[in-house]
């Protein structure tokens, strides 16, 4: 279930193009649920050249949880020296750090590393917003970190006063944390689907017209094939019982806690477990037509949908971008008319652009997504659309 900061490539990962007579193998099924495996090279949601969507579509990037986790912790550790060697923070908290030759470069050097390692990917994700002329959260974040970074570097060489290095690194850390939390919620919400994929067998026992039984890959099954399902085995495809009687455990798919009695003519579902009798099943659905594939499509749709909270946050970020630029221009004009354009005026303009970035919004929305999806999963709710989740009671 999940969410998009959408500034990522439109990884909608279409259903796998199987022949209508072809069934999913277990590996195929897992690919339906784990589209990120094929995109591991797209660090931080992909490069700017491949990103075509807005923030809304990043919800299907659960495979990037590890990338965000690593970037967050590395950036956080690198931020500590920046904070410790910031004179303003030393004054606020009443401590002094030891000074030595070159100590004045500690904050700038570590800030540059944090900006490149943790901040540049956000700028890459803002490129599609610029291209589509739809400013959102990523463009707002990019504006704040870029302005603070450029001004802070300029302040080192042109006597422009104290830079915004500590604001820069803390903003990047907060946004990385928000993305990590969101990606983790996606992974947790997809856990049930991973368990479903594991139920699919690798092979099926195909009953030939002469009565002989041949073991074959599940992906080779075709419509109307007859398969033998022994006690304790997983049913390899949707079908109808042609011979035999048994109880079938469908709990992982339908939620039914008790075994379901299956007799001749009864329908069975791929991935369910045959318990105490042998069944001969006539295959009625394969590939994308199976119930299991349908469930995975529902979850994939849910992961790509957006809640009202996320929609509102995206709109607010767009409005805030224009507001920040407008207020910065107004600040520059008014102060220039009042005292002329000098260092004081420049600092006020930069401060407006830096503080306009919604730190809380960047963390609050992912937390809302994480809490809601986790709570829904714990209560057995399969969410197809996040708007429906918001209306659930």
pLDDT at 374: 59
Residue 246, classified by CB atoms within 10 Å of its CB into exposed (0-12), middle (13-18) or buried (19+), is buried
Cα 104 from Cα 252, distance rounded (Å):
60
What are 240's strand-pairing partners?
A: 267, 282
Cα 390 from Cα 386, distance rounded (Å):
6
As a whole number of Å, the CA-based R_g of the chain is 28
Annotate 94-148 with DSSP letters as a single string: T------TTGGGHHHHHHHHHIIIIIHHHHHHHHHHHHTT---HHHHHHHHHHHH
Counting DSSP H helices and E strands in the chain, the numbers are: 14, 9
Length of the chain: 393
Low-confidence ranges of the chain (pLDDT < 70): 1-63, 186, 188-193, 195-196, 256, 299-300, 302-307, 309-310, 358-393
Domains annotated on the chain, with CATH: 26-193+307-391 (no CATH), 201-286 (2.70.150.10)
Which helix (DSSP H) or strand (DSSP E) does residue 170 occupy?
helix 165-189
pLDDT at 262: 95
Sequence-ordered strand ranges (E) for the chain: 203-207, 213-217, 226-229, 238-244, 246-249, 260-262, 267-268, 273-274, 279-285
Report yes or no: 280 and 335 within 8 Å, Cβ to Cβ: no
Q: What phi and psi, each to the nearest 5 degrees, are found at residue 210?
A: -85, 5
Cα 264 from Cα 213, distance rounded (Å):
20
Assigned token pair, 391 = 């209306």
pLDDT at 390: 64
Q: What phi and psi, each to the nearest 5 degrees, are found at residue 53?
A: -105, 170
Which helix (DSSP H) or strand (DSSP E) does residue 362 occupy?
helix 359-378
Cα 13 from Cα 310, distance rounded (Å):
22
Cα 218 from Cα 25, distance rounded (Å):
5
What percent of the chain is helix, strand and coil (3-state, nearest 5)? Answer: 60, 10, 30
Cα 282 from Cα 276, distance rounded (Å):
19
- Residue 233 CB neighbours (<10 A): 18
pLDDT at 312: 75
pLDDT at 324: 86
- Residue 220 CB neighbours (<10 A): 15
């Amino acid at each position: 279930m999940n969410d998009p900061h959408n500034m990522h490539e439109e990884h909608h990962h279409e259903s796998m193009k199987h022949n209508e007579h072809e069934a999913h193998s277990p590996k195929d099924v897992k690919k339906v649920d784990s589209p990120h495996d094929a995109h591991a090279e797209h660090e931080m949601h992909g490069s700017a050249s491949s990103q075509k969507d807005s923030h809304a579509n990043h919800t299907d990037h659960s495979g990037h949880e590890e990338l965000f986790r690593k970037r967050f912790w590395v950036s956080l550790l690198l931020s500590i020296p920046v904070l410790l060697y910031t004179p303003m923070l030393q004054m606020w908290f009443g401590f002094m750090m030891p000074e030595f030759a070159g100590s004045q470069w500690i904050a700038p050097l570590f800030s540059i590393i944090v900006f490149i390692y943790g901040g540049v990917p956000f700028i890459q994700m803002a490129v599609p917003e610029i291209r589509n002329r739809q400013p959102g959260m990523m463009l707002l974040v990019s504006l704040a970190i870029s302005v603070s970074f450029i001004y802070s570097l300029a302040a080192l060489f042109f006597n422009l006063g104290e830079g915004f290095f500590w604001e820069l690194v803390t903003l990047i850390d907060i946004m990385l944390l928000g993305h990590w939390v969101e990606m983790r919620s996606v992974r947790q919400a997809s856990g049930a689907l991973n368990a479903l994929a594991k139920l699919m067998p690798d092979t099926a026992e195909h009953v030939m017209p002469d009565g002989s039984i041949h073991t074959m890959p599940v992906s080779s099954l075709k419509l109307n094939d007859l398969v033998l399902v022994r006690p304790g085995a997983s049913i390899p495809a949707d079908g109808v019982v042609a011979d035999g009687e048994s109880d079938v455990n469908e709990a992982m798919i339908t939620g039914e806690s008790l075994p379901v009695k299956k007799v001749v003519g009864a329908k069975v579902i791929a991935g369910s477990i045959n318990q105490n009798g042998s069944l001969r099943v006539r295959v009625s659905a394969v590939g994308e037509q199976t119930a299991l594939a349908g469930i995975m499509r529902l979850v994939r749709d849910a992961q790509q949908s957006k809640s009202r909270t996320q929609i509102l946050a995206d709109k607010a970020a767009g409005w805030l971008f224009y507001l920040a630029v407008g207020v910065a221009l107004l600040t520059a004009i008014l102060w220039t008319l009042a005292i002329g354009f000098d260092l004081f005026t420049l600092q006020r303009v930069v401060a407006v652009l830096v503080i306009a970035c919604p730190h809380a919004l960047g963390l609050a929305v992912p937390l809302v997504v994480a809490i809601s999806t986790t709570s829904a999963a714990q209560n057995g709710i399969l969410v197809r659309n996040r708007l429906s989740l918001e209306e659930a009671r």
